[in-house]
């Protein structure tokens, strides 16, 4: 079993919130494909990283969506990541998977 987590920004580079439709569509897509999801969206996580080009620390407020899947279809996830990068106008988007044992 795999746990796949998607870290999604709440704001674009001009600090404008993304439309709620972006997140509704994502929830519908993941629920249809995987039969459900968990969204950590009420208390956004704070993401910080050093931007080498600008020489400063950049901040992102993010929400985490996660799904459980028996098989990890890397090609599908790679394509979906590209879709989300376009939808959320991001240079990069963190998605991670870890193998888990359900107790």
Extended strands (E) in 1-103: 2-9, 38-51, 56-69, 95-99
pTM for this structure? 0.83
pLDDT tens column, 24-69: 999 999 999 999 999 987 767 766 667 777 778 776 788 999 999 9
Q: To the nearest whole percent, how much of the chain has pLDDT over 90?
A: 63
**What CATH number matches the domain at 2-99, 3.30.70.120, 3.40.1310.30, 3.10.20.30, 2.40.50.100?**
3.30.70.120
Domain boundaries, the chain: 2-99
Q: List the alpha helices (DSSP H) in the chain.
A: 20-34, 74-87
22 and 84 Cβ atoms separated by less than 8 Å:
no
Could you tell me the CA-to-CA distances from 97 to 5, 6, 19, 24 in Å, in that order?
A: 6, 9, 26, 22
């Amino acid at each position: 079993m795999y746990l796949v987590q998607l870290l999604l920004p709440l704001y674009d580079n001009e600090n404008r919130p993304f439309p709620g439709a972006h997140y509704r569509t994502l929830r519908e897509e993941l629920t249809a494909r995987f039969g459900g999801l968990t969204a950590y969206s009420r208390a956004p996580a704070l993401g910080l990283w050093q931007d080498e080009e600008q020489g400063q620390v950049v901040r992102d407020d993010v929400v985490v969506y996660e799904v459980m899947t028996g098989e990890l279809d890397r090609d599908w996830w790679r394509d979906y990541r590209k879709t989300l990068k376009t939808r959320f106008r991001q240079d990069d988007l963190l998605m991670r998977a870890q193998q888990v044992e359900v107790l």
